[in-house]
Structures are given as structure tokens and as C-alpha cells.
A and B are shown apart, each in its own frame.
Chain A
Amino acid sequence: KAGVTQTPRYLIKTRGQQVTLSCSPISGHRSVSWYQQTPGQGLQFLFEYFSETQRNKGNFPGRFSGRQFSNSRSEMNVSTLELGDSALYLCASSLGLTDTYEQYFGPGTRLTVT
């Protein structure tokens, strides 16, 4: 069974631009979560989706948005990019709600904002 895939793997953007990151969960998984990982802040929660509904949202500005499609694939969008948005963005899927189910992580998208 294929793992979680994220595209693109690497991205370089200019400050002020916007970006869309994509995540394809493991087949059959209905929950998708997004995290931002930086050396200074560690792993910060962005969003959690289950069956196309946003279940939880982290403490990020409104420039960060996401959605989940009927096939469980998910996208996140960051508008008006800032230098501080440079990070590894990780997507994780789980069979059910992340309360008790373990998450399976993708390799991440490395975003660099210049």
C-alpha cells in the first residue's frame, strides 16, 4: 500500500506570493492533518480534517487555509508569503480520528521563502 505522498517536495517562493501544497493520504484513510516544522518552534499543528470537515485549527493567521476533498486528498494554501513561513510542511493521514489512531506522515514539502 502506498504511503502518504506530498507534492511538491521542494518549493522556493518569493515573499508576497502564494503557494498551494498537496497531500494524498494512504488509501482508505479519512483523516488528514497538517503540521509546520521549524528548528525553533518544533512541530506546530495547522489543521485537521476528517471526511471533508475541518475538525481543528491551530494558532496560525488566516493566510493559512486548507481543505479536504471527497477522496480524502487535502491541500493547504498560504497566501502573502512571509520569510517566517519557510519551513517543512508535513501532512499526516490516519484511518480514523486522530484521538486513538496513529498518524502516518508524508516526507514533507520544504518551503523556502526568499
Chain B
Amino acid sequence: AQSVAQPEDQVNVAEGNPLTVKCTYSVSGNPYLFWYVQYPNRGLQFLLKYITGDNLVKGSYGFEAEFNKSQTSFHLKKPSALVSDSALYFCAVRDPRNSGNTPLVFGKGTRLSVIA
């Protein structure tokens, strides 16, 4: 069965410093991977996705993520954090080989706090 883990409930970073939000997954084959962000009292917003191709994926608001098959990871990164990046971040995975029977699975979420 597919699963995704976000090992950190909370990540704190100073404004201007690089940030990393970690995500690891478990899928039998090659996964489809997504990152979403949720601001307070809002629904989730799509940031980026990896379907195939280049392992480094660039997304919205200066975020990027690197697909690492050997480490089964898809960490979200940004070179310079902004206070406005403070939000709840979700990683999600889908197994394309079994997509008709299994839905998109979300991680528990990581709360990012950027301190001025």
C-alpha cells in the first residue's frame, strides 16, 4: 500500500535562510508526487508536482522539490524563506500502477514557521 511520511510536525527557520520540508514515500513503482500548502482558514493550494522527467521540480512562490528515487524522498525547498511562507505544508503521493483503486494519499502535514 502506498504511504507518505512527513517526519517533522514543525519546522522553524529564520527569514532569509534556506528552508527544507521533508517528505518520504512508499510506493511499489514510480510515484506521482505533489506538494500543497494551506494558509490559515483556507483550503489547500497546489505548489508543485513530479510525474516524470527531471528530478528537480520548480513550483509556485519560489519553491522547488527534488525527487530522489534511491532515498524515496521528495523534499520541498526554498533558497530564502519569507515570513509569508509560514503555513501548513502537505506532501501527497499516488501509485500510478494502481490509481484506479487507490486515491491520492496525503502526509500529516508540516507546520512551517518563518521568524523575522
Point out the residues of chain B lying under 8 angstroms from A90, CB to CB.
43-44
Point out the residues of chain B lying under 8 angstroms from A103, CB to CB.
36, 44, 46, 104
> Of A4, A43, A97, A102, which is within 8 A of B99 by CB?
A97
State whether B103 touches A45 (Cβ < 8 A). yes
Q: How many A-B residue pairs have CB under 8 A?
A: 57
Given A43-B109, A108-B43, are A102 and B49 also a contact pair (CB < 8 Å)?
Answer: yes
B interface, CB within 8 angstroms of A? 32, 34, 36, 41-46, 49, 51, 90, 94, 96, 99-109
9 contacts between A and B (CB under 8 A): A42-B106, A43-B109, A99-B32, A100-B32, A100-B49, A100-B96, A102-B34, A103-B46, A107-B43
- Minimum CB–CB distance from B94 to chain A (whole Å) comes to 6
Point out the residues of chain B lying under 8 angstroms from A42, CB to CB.
106-109
State whether B43 touches A98 (Cβ < 8 A). no
Point out the residues of chain A lying under 8 angstroms from B101, CB to CB.
56
Point out the residues of chain A lying under 8 angstroms from B94, CB to CB.
98-99
